Chain A
Amino acid sequence: MAITKKQTEALAKQVFEYAPAPEAIDHVKVQPRYGLFIGGKMVAAHSKKRFPTINPATEKTLSEVVDADEVDVDRAVKAASKAFESWSHLSASRRARYLFRISRILQERSRELAVVETMDGGKPIKESRDVDIPLSAAHFFYYAGWADKLEWAFPNRKPRPLGVAGQVIPWNFPLLMLAWKIAPALAAGNTVVLKPAETTPLSALLFAEICMQADLPPGVVNIVTGAGKTGSLVVSHPDVKKVAFTGSTEVGKLIQRSIAGTGKKLTLELGGKAANIVFEDAPLDQAVEGIVNGIYFNQGHVCCAGSRLLVQESIAEPLLEKLKRRLSTLRLGDPLDKNTDIGAINSKAQLEKIQGLVESGIEEGAELYQPECAIPERGFWFPPTLFTNVSQSYRIAREEIFGPVLSVLTFRTPSEAVEKANNTPYGLSAGVWTDKGSRILWMAERMRAGVVWANTFNRFDPTSPFGGYKESGYGREGGIHGLMPYLDLN
């Protein structure tokens, strides 16, 4: 026999650590430098400023992109304004066909897009492969079908497009957020200028190629790269009629203030501090999966993350034991490895923010738990983290950490759960775990949040509206409701 029983026991712990299973990257061609996508082609920028975009797992530079300036943004908006004339008058079924075509190309190039998304952003390949890219394609497919049915969506109205939409998206789901923004805008007959996040511009630039491949008329989609300044130029451009922003509540408020009085239509999808509430009768093992998926999915870089676990005191002990055990099975490391559960933190700045908040949690008296977990030497990493003994007043219970950090609080009665869950300026999502049907509906009714996941968490679908209450923003993305922000119904 090749392996003795004694060896087996040792090997079970060592060898079955799953050998590396890296996704092939040789089919992906990232250019060393990118221009801007304006008027249907990649053009040289007016701005001479460039910045590198790096792989957060290796800190290696992947490419250099433009820090677009006022002239660049103005060109992009002009191209979009010009294209709006013809695009908004194109027969709706033609518009639909372009969107269907884009959806198909996204599917055809899915592997390439997944790899780029993972390299540029640090998220595990299993997530970009199974979640980000398929959902992006699905989003275009869904809204493609709406393009020529708008009058059935809004009875008694003649829906008309608004004009140029200025869209600014975050780095946590780069291509998916692009799809959430561009698909409904185009279906409704608008044209767009989109600015991807500073740390994750590559999938948007790949999307520019896809627009060309789809023969999308020039100027219908324009992509300008840059940092916050470029974003503010996009939203404040006088010819932009519609602003859509996904990102932090802080920046969202700045945008709301900056476009005051301009008559621009605005939708905001901002931060969150969601409660994931587990009742004593919950299916515990699935609840543990939901908690893990709720906060450790995409390293917790999720605005709707279930970052506050509210657990009924009577089951806190067994639940936490299960949860801690489960945390020890999470695999942190190379995002391109198909078995990786926790990838790299998106940027150094984000890592520092997470570290700062975690330190505050320790200082305020919460009890830290992190499973044993080897951290790679290069790159930005943070182990899955769980805090117990957390009070509502602690910063880690109130502020959005946007990292793999869970704060655990307990409650005694359903009303106390409701009170604690809603005790936040945010209101994006909530989770409820219980076996009792009437309680699910009772809780769902009381959650002041735009999305309630009952006995599940972090599910997304193009047909399902997404967006927040209170300081989590307004307007919905997804579903029939996601069309409304891009249409004039008056």
Chain B
Amino acid sequence: MATALSLTHLGSLMRGVRSVDEVGADERAASLAKRSIKKSSKLWALDLAIRCMDLTTLEGQDTPGKVAAMCAKAIRPRPGDATIPSVAAVCVYPLRIADCVEHVRGTGIHIASVATAFPSGQSFTNIKVAETEECVRAGADEIDMVIDRGAFLSGDYQRVYDEIVAVKEACGNAHLKVILETGELGNYDAVRRASILAMAAGADFIKTSTGKVQPAATPAIALVMMEAIRDFVRETGRPVGFKAAGGIRTAKQAITYLVITYETLGPDWMTPDRLRLGASTLLNDVLMQIEKERSGAYQSIDYFTVD
């Protein structure tokens, strides 16, 4: 409970949660997506996209071998090219944390694990807390939890709030990213409300999606969540990070999220400490775009490692 705000404070925040006009938000996001990022700015943006990336595998078929390969890619995305940075974190299921620890220890890359009955969140709170504790014990320093959408949609905000508080406590020093699974919330009003709720309960980051539900991250959802962050920071002074996840596959999409971040939250958020892009297949497209900018020629996947 230490990091969470008091319930009185939550109450005041929840009363202040405003509606979002869907069409207006969509139009603003679309106009930001039309920003034209060229040359040096583009290279800088692509570099940042890598440094903010949570390289992710969340499959039932994940094995130690698969995770080892991903970790290698995370550390050195472009073998032989030292100018390409490592990613921010690797993100895996709890049982694969140990594999990550083995491969990324000492590289500065964070280990993120999904917890709390990912992706549905339909389990007992004590199990979720226990799972979180096990993950941290196994070596994860970032926890990506899912909110209980069932509780949220039935109006039981208290339950959602309490669970986040409990999981945050179980995290200890690990950073907590709270996944709202916006694709299941129905509209932007709910996204905004869930964002405020998660931040009030102590989230270090709020995150769009699990990647298991469509639609996942969209520019407009990102905009709405970032606007909620902006208001939360204004009210409380505590900065909260943002993570977009699900469906981000191209460098162009990644740059759109960077532009939205830049114009909504400002330059202070243009860092892996406050911005993450969760993705499994984005990295190679970013690498190909960097190479294209440098060489002037369009690239083929055959020249990049597929891990």
The residues of A with any CB-CB pair to B shorter than 8 Å are 1-3, 5, 8-9, 11-13, 15-21, 126, 130, 281-286, 289-290, 318, 321, 329, 338-339, 435, 455-456
CA distance A21 to B262 in the complex (A): 18
Choice from A16, A18, A321 contacting B267 with Cβ under 8 Å: A16
Secondary structure class of chain B's binding surface, majority of residues? helix
Closest A-chain residue to B45, C-beta based? A16
Which residues of B, 15-54, contact A by the 8 Å Cβ criterion? 18-21, 23-25, 27-28, 34-42, 44-45, 47-48, 51
Q: A9-B271, A289-B27 given as contacts; is B47 within 8 A of A3 (CB)? A: yes
Q: Are A20 and B18 in contact, CB atoms less than 8 angstroms apart?
A: no
Which residues of B, 176-221, contact A by the 8 Å Cβ criterion? none
Q: A286-B28, A289-B24 given as contacts; is B41 within 8 A of A17 (CB)? A: yes
Q: Are A5 and B271 in contact, CB atoms less than 8 angstroms apart?
A: yes
Closest A-chain residue to B23, C-beta based? A456
Q: Does B173 contact A (CB under 8 A)?
A: no
CB distance from A14 to the nearest CB of B (A): 9
Q: Does B307 contact A (CB under 8 A)?
A: no
Given pairs A15-B41, A286-B20, A286-B21, 19 additional interface contacts (CB within 8 A) = A3-B47, A3-B85, A8-B48, A9-B271, A12-B262, A12-B271, A16-B258, A16-B267, A19-B38, A19-B39, A19-B40, A19-B42, A130-B34, A285-B20, A285-B25, A285-B28, A318-B234, A329-B263, A456-B24
Choice from A16, A130, A286 contacting B44 with Cβ under 8 Å: A16
Q: Are A435 and B19 in contact, CB atoms less than 8 angstroms apart?
A: yes
CA distance A284 to B45 in the complex (A): 29
The residues of B with any CB-CB pair to A shorter than 8 Å are 18-21, 23-25, 27-28, 34-42, 44-45, 47-48, 51, 82-86, 227, 234, 258, 262-263, 267-268, 270-271
Closest A-chain residue to B41, C-beta based? A19
Q: Are B85 and A21 in contact, CB atoms less than 8 angstroms apart?
A: no
Choice from B25, B27, B86, B262 contacting A16 with Cβ under 8 Å: B262
Q: Are A283 and B19 in contact, CB atoms less than 8 angstroms apart?
A: yes
Q: Are A8 and B24 in contact, CB atoms less than 8 angstroms apart?
A: no
CB distance from A321 to the nearest CB of B (A): 8
Secondary structure class of chain A's binding surface, majority of residues? loop
CA distance A12 to B272 in the complex (A): 12
Choice from A2, A5, A12, A289 contacting B28 with Cβ under 8 Å: A289
Closest A-chain residue to B227, C-beta based? A285
Closest A-chain residue to B270, C-beta based? A12
User: Quick one: which of B20, B36, B42, B84 has the most chain A CB within 10 A?
Assistant: B36
Q: Are B85 and A2 in contact, CB atoms less than 8 angstroms apart?
A: yes
CB distance from A133 to the nearest CB of B (A): 15
CB distance from B49 to the nearest CB of A (A): 12
Top 6 closest pairs, chain A to chain B, by CB: A286-B24, A21-B36, A12-B267, A12-B270, A338-B36, A286-B21
Taking CB atoms, residues of chain B closer than 8 Å to A435 are: 18-19
Taking CB atoms, residues of chain A closer than 8 Å to B25 are: 285-286
CB distance from A243 to the nearest CB of B (A): 36
Q: Are B267 and A13 in contact, CB atoms less than 8 angstroms apart?
A: yes
Q: A12-B271, A13-B267, A285-B227 given as contacts; is B21 within 8 A of A19 (CB)? A: no
Q: Are A8 and B271 in contact, CB atoms less than 8 angstroms apart?
A: yes
Taking CB atoms, residues of chain B closer than 8 Å to A21 are: 36-38
Q: A2-B83, A16-B45, A16-B270 given as contacts; is B18 within 8 A of A284 (CB)? A: yes
CA distance A327 to B134 in the complex (A): 47
Taking CB atoms, residues of chain A closer than 8 Å to B38 are: 18-21
Closest B-chain residue to A337, C-beta based? B36
